[in-house]
Homo-oligomer: A and B are copies of this chain.
């Protein structure tokens, strides 16, 4: 026990809610716990903060180590610290949420995870710790941000059609949108541009292909 302090210190972890859109559904990434507490339960990826790394670095590292995902949009969500939230010791969890385009997912199962899998947001198993509360808050935040930011673009691949983009919005908002109004609105934001290419998949008229002008930045709109 080589690390000693005059006053008790809590442990600090990060946990990450990773969203993507797969099979026309909003899905989140969970890891089956290999060890106690909550052995066999599904939980968010995450882990203990290294003493010299920044909080967001920690989230990115844990995500990479436990799931193989990197280079995704990452934003701090909230910090959870109820004294009884972990039976082992006092743990403060700084939570993040991440959005990933479904075309760049490359999962792996890592040492401390018996299994890694995507679950539809509306059909998740019972989760370890207070992770159920965390995913609900992350979902709320994501949906709220649709209204005043370009966060939805983080789900898109490098290039996409307007119909594909509209489908993403429809899944996130859980409602059908009018095609003409959606196109007028999304183009009026000035955040996407035509690539000049056409997408010719399916037995129908080819669709114009767009890209996000500034794909690494989430813009505030309105």
Binding site for B on A (CB under 8 A): 1-12, 48-49, 51-55, 76, 78-79, 81-83, 90, 92, 94
A90 to B48, CA, bound (A): 14
Cβ contact within 8 Å between B83 and A53: yes
Q: Which of B5, B51, B79 contacts A76 (CB 8 A)?
A: B79
Cβ contact within 8 Å between B12 and A7: no
Q: Which of B7, B54, B78, B81 contacts A3 (CB 8 A)?
A: B7
* Chain B contacts for A54, CB-based, 8 A: 81-83
Cβ contact within 8 Å between B7 and A6: no
* Chain B contacts for A4, CB-based, 8 A: 1-5
Label chain A's interface by main secondary structure. loop
* Chain B contacts for A81, CB-based, 8 A: 12, 49, 54-55, 94
* Chain B contacts for A8, CB-based, 8 A: 3, 51
Task: Report copies per complex.
Answer: 2
A77 to B41, CA, bound (A): 30
Cβ contact within 8 Å between A83 and B3: no
Closest residue on chain B to residue A220 by CB atoms = B144
Given A3-B7, A83-B53, A92 contacting B94 (CB threshold 8 A)? yes
A5 to B3, CA, bound (A): 5
Cβ contact within 8 Å between B5 and A83: no
* Chain B contacts for A9, CB-based, 8 A: 3, 5, 9-12, 51
* Chain B contacts for A1, CB-based, 8 A: 4-6
- Given A4-B5, A51-B90, 17 new contacts (CB under 8 A): A1-B6, A3-B5, A3-B6, A3-B7, A3-B8, A7-B51, A8-B51, A9-B9, A9-B10, A9-B11, A10-B51, A12-B92, A51-B83, A54-B82, A55-B81, A79-B94, A92-B92
